[in-house]
Structure 1
């Protein structure tokens, strides 16, 4: 299930694996399973756009 949707009480299947902290090419961080979370495509796209266009960090947690 999508972690972000779940925090809002919405049940939505997860389709994407997201890196909580952007790996920025760091292979160790890329493969660190503790840095992964499940998101639906909509939430993943929104988070990625925030990181890329607004300089936002990882998750809101």
Structure 2
């Protein structure tokens, strides 16, 4: 299920895995489960500006809520 939709009481199938802390900045967290959330395509598109690849406000909010996971 999409974790972003779930926050609003919706049950939408997830189709994408989103890296909370972007791979460009945190490549070491690529496969760390605490850095991954399941999202539907609509919510995933809302996390990034698809032209600049920069995080949007929604993507930044997830980053602020989830501190970078350790790599133990």
Q: Which of structures 1 and 2 has the larger relative contact order (alpha carbons within 8 angstroms, sep 6+)?
A: 1
Decide whether the 8 Å contact of 2:2 with 2:14 is kept in 1. yes
1:35 aligns with 2:35: yes
Decide whether the 8 Å contact of 1:15 with 1:41 is kept in 2. yes
Change in Cα spacing, 1:10 to 1:46, as seen in structure 2 (3 Å) is same
| Superposed CA RMSD | 2.7
Of Structure 1 and Structure 2, which has the larger fraction of its residues in helix? 1
Count of aligned positions: 61
Gaps of 5+ in 2: 66-72
Decide whether the 8 Å contact of 2:49 with 2:56 is kept in 1. yes
After the TM superposition, list the runs of 4 or more consecutive aligned residues in structure 1 that deviate by more than 2 angstroms.
53-58
Decide whether the 8 Å contact of 2:47 with 2:56 is kept in 1. no
| TM-score of the two chains, using structure 1 as the length reference | 0.77
| TM-score of the two chains, using structure 2 as the length reference | 0.67
Secondary structure class of the residue paired with 1:21: coil
